[in-house]
A and B are shown apart, each in its own frame.
Chain A
């Protein structure tokens, strides 16, 4: 059973029933799920979690849906790998990679969409929808297929073909919109108000966002029931960043782990860093930007959770790092060449951001550090194709020796 008891406005505190709503009717503040933690504390335990499925649904007591009916592609419980080679290169003895690129549609979005699509079925919606530039599109289309729902995927008309195929293969209606990102945003907001559909990150957003908490729970469990000293996280809307922190704090409050001392480090690419820029300027108002970054999965110019991300940084004594665009691909290469993990551009931002954090002394050698890799490198081949230069030879040993061994 689900322990979600209400939705609550994060600004004015007004409460609402757990309906398909995302903003407060009075002040337009974002709504967040409220749980009956007392009831949860009576049932949840390490043992209960350990006996659960090897997916994100082992934490169903802390998710706002009935997990027994989950739309589940076996998402989550992804590897937390020790990264000794990258750690050696950077000067860290306890570096781990949370490899969320191995989820069913190759990104962390499966966590949030699994919750949103399950909730959509609870509300008896027949249609699942989203506006996306890649990762979310594939995940929504796949979950809709699994759930037997109709899917509408709205994309900018100039989206790379590979990303369109990655969603279209699951059989949704893919709608390419001629116009700017602003136009796509505006149209989808209007459609969400007009049609009785479950837009995963609009009217389902309070539930959808909760799925990212499992990235905190898993890391804590996989580290032997403790939170790490440092988390390095890529940010677009800022939602995942806040929810990883929320996951640690819930585990602490439920006495599943000891007191949390994690420093939350946000990373953004220079071409779209509205939250990190606000952090650097020391202000709480996030000024929207026009994204122009190679890290397309982080290209949200007007981040919904910008303000709350800054609060998470403050609460956790963390920080935000802006990674120069030219270091994004360097980060991808560094992770691939040291640990054999090929990440998309968001992961390149994380690894280059991590390097900068170590260089400026924010992370000490003996501290447990987790870098979140949230998407697979095959999704952004165009970002790295210029770095790949195979040697071409004639089909002879002589040519091999001359062109390869003697080169």
Chain B
């Protein structure tokens, strides 16, 4: 089992979509929301994702394909 801590940033047109629920359903990932601020025009959520590493990777790719920005909570680790 792998874990990944990420930040999702939603644009106004995506704020109403149940993306996090769909992520959990489609990829069998446990999505643990640890902080969020979702408003009409903007939203972000901090999540811990837990599941099969490959499923997490595919899930992140899918979330990005919807237009949501996904970043590691630690910032970039490649220096």
> Which residue of the partner chain, among B53, B69, B73, B77, contacts A28 with CB atoms under 8 Å?
B73
Residues of A contacting B71 in the complex (Cβ-Cβ under 8 angstroms): 288, 302
B3, A193: Cβ atoms under 8 Å? yes
User: Chain B 56-67, CB within 8 Å of chain A: the 1/0 string?
Assistant: 110010000000
State the CA gap A205–B76 with chains docked (Å): 12
Which of A126-134, A259-267, A387-395 contacts its partner?
Answer: A126-134
Contact with B along A120-153 (1 / 0, CB 8 A): 0000000000111101100000000000000000
Whether the pair B34, A28 counts as a contact (CB closer than 8 A) is yes
Q: Are A189 and B75 in contact (CB under 8 A)?
A: no
Chain A residues near B57 (CB, 8 Å)? 186
Which B residues lie within 8 Å of A306 (CB)?
Answer: 75
Is B29 located at the chain interface by the 8 A CB criterion? no
Task: Assess whether B72 is in contact with A302, with CB atoms less than 8 Å apart.
Answer: yes
The CA-CA distance from A166 to B49 in the complex, in Å, is 36
Q: Are B78 and A304 in contact (CB under 8 A)?
A: no
Q: Which residues of A contact B60 (CB under 8 A)?
A: 186
Could you say which of A19-27, A98-106, A167-175, A334-342 contacts chain B? Answer: A19-27
Are B5 and A185 in contact, CB atoms less than 8 angstroms apart?
no
Does B74 contact A194, Cβ atoms closer than 8 Å? Answer: no
Q: Are B5 and A23 in contact (CB under 8 A)?
A: yes
Contact B79 A135 (CB under 8 A): yes
Inter-chain contacts of B56 with A (CB < 8 A):
190
Nearest B residue to A189 by beta-carbon distance? B72
Q: Is the CB of A288 within 8 A of B69?
A: yes
Residue pair B72, A193 in contact (C-beta under 8 Å):
no
B23 contacts the other chain (CB 8 A): no
Query: What is the CA–CA distance of A183 and B78 in the complex, to the nearest angstrom?
Result: 10
**Which of the four size classes fits the interface of chain A?**
35 or more
- Known A22-B74, A202-B74: A190·B2 in contact at CB below 8 Å: yes
Q: Are B77 and A185 in contact (CB under 8 A)?
A: yes
The reply to whether A237 and B75 contact each other, CB–CB distance below 8 Å, is: yes
Closest beta carbon of chain A to B48's beta carbon, Å: 8
Q: Are B76 and A185 in contact (CB under 8 A)?
A: yes
| Chain B residues with CB below 8 A from A186, complex form | 4, 57, 60, 72
A199, B77: Cβ atoms closer than 8 Å: yes
Q: What CA separation (Å) do A156 and B79 show in the bound complex?
A: 11
Bound: A260/B56 CA distance, A:
47
CA–CA, A185 and B70, complex, Å = 12
B75 to A303, Cβ gap below 8 A?
A: yes
What is the distance, in angstroms, from A270's C-beta to the closest C-beta of chain B?
Answer: 18
- A320 contacts the other chain (CB 8 A): no
Whether a CB of chain B sits under 8 angstroms from the CB of A78 is no
Q: CA A293 – CA B57 in complex, angstroms?
A: 27
User: Which of A27, A130, A154, A300 meets B76, CB within 8 Å?
Assistant: A300
Contact of A237 among B2, B69, B76 (CB under 8 A): B76
B72 to chain A, nearest CB (A): 5
Q: Given A26-B34, A28-B46, verify A189-B78 contact (CB < 8 Å).
A: no
A23/B74 in contact, CB under 8 A:
yes
| CB-contact partner of B78 in A27, A28, A131, under 8 A | A131
| Contacts A202-B74, A288-B69; A189 near B79 (Cβ below 8 A) | no
B18 within 8 A of A: no
CB distance from A4 to the nearest CB of B (A): 21
Find chain A residues with CB under 8 A from B72 CB: 185-186, 189, 302
**Contact between A237 and B79, CB atoms less than 8 A apart:** yes
> Is A273 located at the chain interface by the 8 A CB criterion?
no
Check if A236 is an interface residue, CB within 8 A of chain B.
Answer: yes
Given A131-B79, A136-B79, A237-B79, decide whether A189 and B69 contact each other with a Cβ distance below 8 A: no
- Which B5-20 residues have a C-beta within 8 angstroms of A? 5
Say yes or no: A305 contacts B78, CB within 8 Å: no
Whether the Cβ atoms of B4 and A190 lie closer than 8 Å is yes
Closest chain B residue to A177 by CB distance? B78
B75, A188: Cβ atoms closer than 8 Å: no
Interchain CA distance A109-B57 in the complex, whole Å = 30
**Would you give the shortest CB distance from A360 to chain B, in whole angstroms?**
30
Q: Can you offer 7 A-B residue contacts whose CB atoms are under 8 A? A: A130-B79, A133-B79, A202-B77, A237-B76, A237-B79, A300-B78, A303-B76
Considering the complex of A and B, which 8 residue pairs feature the smallest CB-CB distances, nearest first? A304-B75, A131-B78, A136-B79, A28-B73, A302-B76, A300-B76, A193-B3, A302-B71
